[in-house]
Structure 1
Amino acid sequence: MHKTQAETSEFLSGFLPQLENTPDDREVVLCPPFTDLHLLSKSLHGSRVRVGAQNVHWAESGAYTGEISPAMLTELSVRYVVVGHSERREYFGETDATVNLRLRAAQGAGLRPILCVGETKQQRDQGQIETVIFEQLAKGLIGVDQSQLVIAYEPIWAIGTGETCEANEANRVIGQIRSKLDNKLVPIQYGGSVKPGNIDEIMAQPEIDGALVGGASLEPADFARIVNYQ
């Protein structure tokens, strides 16, 4: 929940010029609050940067005050949507069952969902990493087209804490996630205190295909450095 439309315009003016030499094989997606989607869709038209949303409801319409339907997003040229982020699970009662509904609805409308999975510190300390994540995958991916999916491994204990999962450990867990997928080509990202100072090491890992960036994406120079990792 960051950036008004005015702040978003200011961000773009500082961020987009820094993508002029970004390699063509890198896809950049901005997922702002709903109030910024229309502005971004207009401002980014014809650019290499895609627009994503932070959530989507599973119904086409109805008495779901405060929710956003898939058609409301596609009308704004939104291409991606984050589903099952840890903050949605922790603060707003998201479950694996509702995650599955959102994933299927998103894909049914032509959106490509970014499914977030990950464990808490307590679950990690108790040796439950794989158990938790495998259950999230098993329940969340029922009826989901894996060819139109992105997965983000976000260890909850590393989000916004400044504590980053070691790159080799993130690589190991992402390899475990991939082993449970029918489609081994699903892009799998790492998310959790990704910063300019650790992006090169993260992206050097063979199993990690990208990054889901939180706080560091709010500053144009920092986010551009992450996008332009070496």
Structure 2
Amino acid sequence: MTTPFWVGTSWKMNKTLDEAAHYAQALRGVDLFRDERLQGFVIPPFTALHHVCQTLADEPLMVGAQNMHWAERGAFTGEISPPMVKDCGADIVELGHSERREYFNETDAAINLKVKAALAHGLRPLICVGETAEEKRLGVAADTVIRQCRIALSDVADEDLDKVLIAYEPVWAIGEHGTPATADYAGWIHRHIHEALPTTPQGTSIPVLYGGSVNLDNCAALATLPEVSGLFIGRSAWQPEGLLAIAERVVTARFGN
């Protein structure tokens, strides 16, 4: 069976319920995501998570949450628990995004707690890692992302490794003014990550997606890299037409049709 190439997007703090409903409806019945070589996913804000999950429940796309707490319940005002995410119908939970690390002081240790909680509740953690521009300048980019990966996966059972996704997102490449990594640089970092990660009990590699200013112009070059297992797209896929256009280009580049 072919390992699917992942193509998805997080909407961050964007979209009202009506906007989310329009986007999700536009993905219904799309043959592109019925191709078993491709695994599509969308990660809406929590306010729209339940609705998007319901709208896409009978579709081959996965739906995820943008964050969660590691505790099942308790006095954590404003937080969302793993059972709450699961109750919405989500498949994935995005953890450790650089914006969470920078603006909300999330540590590697906290992300590890969340990863283990996600797995315990049947959620697939999408673990975001990436170096800052300063870390890149100092030549410790690979060391940084490997450290983040290893701490995030600390004490994760071998049998759970096939449920994990890694998203390599260099901090300097993210956002409206981000500069996308070149295909050569992305391939180099992805090779280092793969070499450092354990393999699953089935002998397969943990998928490592690239994210950071992915767009229609660079998606094909990134998709042809054997080390890249998928693309995690930002603003270029904040409209359904953008996600579909990139996914179509990825299929042609990666699989030849």
Whole-Å Cα distance in 2 between the matches of residues 209 and 21 of structure 1? Answer: 18
1:157 aligns with 2:172: yes
Match of residue 178 from structure 1: 194
TM-score, L = length of structure 2 = 0.86
Q: Distance in 1 between matches of 2:214 and 2:173?
A: 9
**Uncovered stretches (5+) of structure 2, i.e. residues with no partner:** 1-12, 253-257
Residues 174 and 213 in structure 2, CA contact (< 8 A), matched pair in contact too: yes
Equivalent in the alignment of 2:117: 105
Deviation at 1:50, TM superposition (A): 1.1
1:195 matched residue in structure 2: 215
One-letter identity of the residue aligned with 1:20: D
Query: Aligned partner of 2:189: which letter?
Result: V
Structure 2 match to 1:58? 70
The answer as to 2:134 corresponding to 1:122 is yes
State the TM-score, normalized to the length of structure 1.
0.96
User: Residue 128 of structure 2 aligns to which amino acid in structure 1?
Assistant: C
Count of residues in correspondence between the two structures:
229
Q: Distance in 1 between matches of 2:46 and 2:164?
A: 21
Q: CA deviation at 1:89?
A: 0.3
Query: Out of 51, 74, 79, which is 1:67 matched to?
Result: 79
Q: Give the secondary structure class of the aligned counterpart of 2:38.
A: coil
* 1:35 matched to 2:51: no
- The 3 A distance-change label for structure 1 pair 106 and 21 is closer
- What amino acid maps onto 2:183 in structure 1? A
The question of whether the paired residues in 2 share the 8 Å contact of 1:196 and 1:223 is answered with no
Q: How far 1:63 sits from its partner (Å)?
A: 0.5
- Partner of 2:37, secondary structure, is coil
Aligned twin of 2:103: 91
Runs of 4+ in structure 1 deviating by more than 3 angstroms, as ranges, are: 13-17
Paired letter, 1:27: Q
Among 133, 138, 155, the residue aligned to 2:150: 138
Taking only aligned residues, the RMSD between alpha carbons, in angstroms, comes to 1.2
CA distance in 2, matches of 1:205, 1:12: 29
Distance in structure 1 (CA, Å) of the matches to 2:149 and 2:57: 34
- Three-state SS of the structure 2 residue aligned to 1:189 is strand
Q: In the aligned structure 2, how far is the partner of 1:21 from the partner of 1:137?
A: 31
The Cα of 1:16 is off from its aligned counterpart by: 3.7
SS of aligned partner of 2:210:
strand
1:4 equivalent to 2:27? Answer no
